[in-house]
């Protein structure tokens, strides 16, 4: 199994899932600023912590210094965000897959910018996935792809991230498609779901944001 690097940001804690369910011997953990605190709170020792750490208390900062296997402090005025610094460190470790937690929820400018970070990672040939308590997101380039059913995240949406996606075909889905043209801004492919153990999606050109999601229980 290839190496996975999990990068944790400091989004509101309620958006961050149980990280231990993703932890194993092949995963290295990086905390970006307050993301290091998130890791400590969930009982995971950071392999690396990076940022200006202006979002944590002095007591928490001391604990990060004590527990992190390594850390790096940057000034608060810098060109890169703390998350970008963490991703740059992850790239040094030559991972096969990068998981991003704690990067959605809260301020929408931060969330949208973080989603856009998937693009340069895809251009480098590295699979990357954003995961929160309700969603899993990844960018996919043109070609034919297999997708397996996932009871935890039953809904599947396909959003064009380029001006158009051409020739989109969905097989094994409740709402199938055949050679569809999907322009930027289209809601044609929102909230689909698989009707068998695995399905396929294919398209000729463009880039898709594939979102797997679930509804959260609400109070009656």
Answer whether residue 220 is part of any domain: no
> Which residue among 98, 133, 168 closes a domain?
133
Answer whether residue 151 is part of any domain: yes
Does 109 share its domain with 25?
A: yes
Does 55 share its domain with 159?
A: no
Answer whether residue 51 is part of any domain: yes
Answer whether residue 219 is part of any domain: no
Does 86 share its domain with 195?
A: no
Which one-letter DSSP state was computed for residue 14?
G
CB neighbours of 143 closer than 8 A, spacing ≥ 6?
202, 203
Does 45 share its domain with 93?
A: yes
pLDDT tens by residue, 54-87 = 889 999 999 999 999 999 999 877 778 899 999 9
- DSSP of 161-212, one letter per residue? -SSEEEEEEEESBSS-EEEEEEETT--TTSSEEBSSSEEEEEEEEEEEEEEE
> Is residue 11 predicted with pLDDT exceeding 50?
yes
86-89 long-range CB contacts below 8 Å, 24 or more apart? 86/7, 86/9, 86/30, 86/31, 86/32, 86/35, 86/48, 86/50, 86/51, 87/7, 87/117, 87/121, 89/30, 89/48, 89/50
> Is residue 214 predicted with pLDDT exceeding 80?
yes
Does 69 share its domain with 23?
A: yes
Which one-letter DSSP state was computed for residue 21?
G
pLDDT tens by residue, 26-42 = 999 999 999 999 999 99
Does 14 share its domain with 117?
A: yes
Answer whether residue 104 is part of any domain: yes
Q: How many domains does the chain have?
A: 2
| Parent domain of 118 | 4-133
pLDDT tens by residue, 139-197 = 999 999 999 999 999 999 999 999 999 999 999 999 999 999 999 999 999 999 999 99
- DSSP of 30-53, one letter per residue? EEETHHHHHHHHTT---SEEEE--
How confident is the model at residue 77, as a pLDDT?
Answer: 73
CB atoms within 10 A of CB 197: 8
The better pLDDT of the pair 1, 107 is held by 107
Distance CA 165, CA 190 (A): 14
How confident is the model at residue 218, as a pLDDT?
Answer: 57
> Is residue 220 predicted with pLDDT exceeding 70?
no
Answer whether residue 89 is part of any domain: yes
Q: 3-class DSSP state for residue 88?
A: helix
Does 99 share its domain with 190?
A: no
Tokens of 13: 């804690």
Does 158 share its domain with 105?
A: no
> Which residue among 133, 160, 190 closes a domain?
133
Answer whether residue 21 is part of any domain: yes
Does 202 share its domain with 110?
A: no
pLDDT tens by residue, 84-126 = 999 999 999 999 999 999 999 888 998 999 999 999 999 999 9
Answer whether residue 218 is part of any domain: no
CATH of residue 27's domain is 3.40.50.10240
Are 71 and 50 in contact by the 8 Å Cβ rule? The answer is yes
> Which residue among 93, 114, 133 closes a domain?
133
Does 150 share its domain with 121?
A: no
pTM of the model: 0.92
Are 210 and 130 in contact by the 8 Å Cβ rule? The answer is no
How confident is the model at residue 1, as a pLDDT?
Answer: 52
**Mean pLDDT calculated for residue range 117-137:** 95
How confident is the model at residue 168, as a pLDDT?
Answer: 98
Does 41 share its domain with 106?
A: yes
Does 106 share its domain with 47?
A: yes
Helix axes 58-67, 34-41, angle to 10 degrees: 70
């Amino acid at each position: 199994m290839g190496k996975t690097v999990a990068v944790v940001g400091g989004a509101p804690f309620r958006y961050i899932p149980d990280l231990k369910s993703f932890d194993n011997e092949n995963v290295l953990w990086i905390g970006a600023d307050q993301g290091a605190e998130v890791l400590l709170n969930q009982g995971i020792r950071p392999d690396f912590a990076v940022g200006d750490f202006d979002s944590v208390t002095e007591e928490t900062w001391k604990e990060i210094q004590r527990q992190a296997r390594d850390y790096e402090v940057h000034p608060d005025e810098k060109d890169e965000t703390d998350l970008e610094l963490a991703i740059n460190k992850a790239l040094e470790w030559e991972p096969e897959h990068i998981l991003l937690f704690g990067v959605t929820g809260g301020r929408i400018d931060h969330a949208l910018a973080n989603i856009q970070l998937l693009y340069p990672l895809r251009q480098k040939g590295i699979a990357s996935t954003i995961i929160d308590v309700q969603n899993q997101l990844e960018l996919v380039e043109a070609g034919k792809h297999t997708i397996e059913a996932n009871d935890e995240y039953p809904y599947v949406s396909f959003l064009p991230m380029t001006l158009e996606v051409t020739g989109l075909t969905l097989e094994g889905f409740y709402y199938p498609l055949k050679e569809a043209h999907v322009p930027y801004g289209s809601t044609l492919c929102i909230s689909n779901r698989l009707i068998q153990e695995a399905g396929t999606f294919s398209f000729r050109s463009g880039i898709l944001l594939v979102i797997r999601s679930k509804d959260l229980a609400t109070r009656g």
